[in-house]
């Protein structure tokens, strides 16, 4: 099983190596957006330190969700997945292979984005930088897992993009980026407790303020649990080919 999984991951990475635009999108675009955000608030002292951390949780999540869902759907529509399923490759091998490949991209993306935010944009956090990098990696992996799951329900690339307003935009509005979740109406706070991006933002805020223990561990556990569930659901709902 592991050989088939790693073979799938290697195939995806080779395909990405021939697509420099996708690589640039995943590695450079989050840094460019973070830089634009820092420039926007350059005249307000301390504003980027307050909002820069949650912004780091936003852009990698969105981009990895978008790229993964569209790429997986393209495999189905082209018939590649159907041909692969005639081999001993299983659905779990396919999903885990994709997760590993895009997980490596998420690691590189986190290193580039966090490094850019700290060294160029001047983001300061009270906690260790490696914790911020860890949250950024898990954030990208979460976007990958949800993108793999969402791709099972789309028939075209356009439909995959349409899942953004359903699965991503509510998390942006209710995740604690625009206002603290405790200040929201009780009903919206209850909804935000079920949104995974809320816990990514909680983890980033915990690192930014130097909190450790359960304040950081709880959101990290939730993120990992949602990631595992999304990969499991992706493998169960994966279809060989789009009708």
Show Cβ contacts of residue 202 under 8 Å, excluding neighbours closer than 6 positions.
176, 218, 219
In order of 66, 113, 177, the CA distances from 128 in angstroms are 29, 16, 22
The string of pLDDT tens digits covering residues 202-238 is 999 899 888 878 888 999 999 999 999 988 888 887 7
The string of pLDDT tens digits covering residues 166-197 is 888 888 889 888 888 888 899 999 999 999 99
Burial class (CB in 10 A: 0-12, 13-18, 19+), 121: buried
Averaged pLDDT score across all residues of the chain: 84
Query: For the chain, what are the domain ranges?
Result: 2-237
pLDDT for residue 126 = 87
Average pLDDT over residues 150-164: 77
Task: Tell me how far apart the alpha carbons of residues 60 and 40 are, in angstroms, rounded to a whole number.
Answer: 19
Buried b (16+ CB within 10 A) or exposed e, 12-45: beeebeeeeebbeebbebbbebbeebbeebeeee
In order of 62, 66, 143, the CA distances from 26 in angstroms are 10, 10, 12
Whether 106 has a pLDDT exceeding 60, the answer reads yes
């Amino acid at each position: 099983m592991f050989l088939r999984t790693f073979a799938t991951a290697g195939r995806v990475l080779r395909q990405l190596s021939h697509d420099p635009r996708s690589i640039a999108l995943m590695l450079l675009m989050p840094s460019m957006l973070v830089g634009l955000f820092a420039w926007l608030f350059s005249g307000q002292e301390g504003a980027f330190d307050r909002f820069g951390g949650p912004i780091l949780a936003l852009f990698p999540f969105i981009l990895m969700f978008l790229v993964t869902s569209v790429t997986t759907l393209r495999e189905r529509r082209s018939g590649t997945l159907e041909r692969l399923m005639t081999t001993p490759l299983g659905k779990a091998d396919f999903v885990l292979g994709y997760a590993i490949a895009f997980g490596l991209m998420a690691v590189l993306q986190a290193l580039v984005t966090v490094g850019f935010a700290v060294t160029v944009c001047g983001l300061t956090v009270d906690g260790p930088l490696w914790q911020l990098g860890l949250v950024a990696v898990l954030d990208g992996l979460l976007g990958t897992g949800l993108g793999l799951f969402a791709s099972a329900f789309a028939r075209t690339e356009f439909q995959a993009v349409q899942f953004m307003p359903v699965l991503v935009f509510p998390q942006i509005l209710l995740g604690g980026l625009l206002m603290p979740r405790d200040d929201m109406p009780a009903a919206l706070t209850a909804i935000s407790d079920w949104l995974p991006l809320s816990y990514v933002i909680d983890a980033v805020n915990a690192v930014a303020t130097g909190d450790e223990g359960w304040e950081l561990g709880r959101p990290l556990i939730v993120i990992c649990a949602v990631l595992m569930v999304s990969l499991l659901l992706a493998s169960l709902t994966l279809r060989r080919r789009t009708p």
